[in-house]
Amino acid sequence: DSGVTQTPKHLITATGQRVTLRCSPRSGDLSVYWYQQSLDQGLQFLIQYYNGEERAKGNILERFSAQQFPDLHSELNLSSLELGDSALYFCASSGSGSDEQFFGPGTRLTVL
């Protein structure tokens, strides 16, 4: 158990809908990273937050957004969903200045 929790574990929705994925980092970790794992693209970095502020952006679509709240949990919002957004979405957290990320179990999103 990495100490990172993600909810829900599975999500099935329809095209055009909007969903929110939630991540709680390890106790004390200030950084949260979001990654997408799909059959087409493999693992891709989406976005990073540090202590409530956006720190880095990767291959994140404009239809996707994220935020980190004062209690350090983070949410990834996916809107206008398309079939191609079906993937496993991972959250990871790390401590200040740390090079090691600890991964949650992921949320499997299926868009029908």
Partner 1 sequence: AQSVTQPDIHITVSEGASLELRCNYSYGATPYLFWYVQSPGQGLQLLLKYFSGDTLVQGIKGFEAEFKRSQSSFNLRKPSVHWSDAAEYFCAVAARDSNYQLIWGAGTKLIIKP
The shares of helix, strand and coil residues in the chain, as percent rounded to the nearest 5, are: 5, 55, 45
Cis status of the peptide bond prior to 25, with omega within 30 of 0: no
Tell which one of 21, 32, 35, 76 touches partner 1 (CB under 8 A): 35
* Dihedral sign from CA coordinates of 95, 102, 8, 49: positive
Q: Which one of the spans 15-23, 36-44, 61-69, 76-84 is the region binding partner 1 (CB under 8 A)?
A: 36-44
**In the bound complex, what is the minimum distance in angstroms from residue 112's beta carbon to partner 1?**
20
Task: Identify which of residues 15 and 53 has a Cβ nearer to partner 1 in the complex.
Answer: 53
Residue given tokens 């999500």 in the structure block: 11
Rule CB under 8 A: say whether 83 interacts with partner 1. no
Rule CB under 8 A: say whether 2 interacts with partner 1. yes
Round to whole Å and give the CA distance between 12 and 56: 28
Residues that bind partner 1 (CB under 8 A): 2, 31, 33, 35, 42-45, 48, 50, 55-56, 58, 90, 92, 94, 98-106
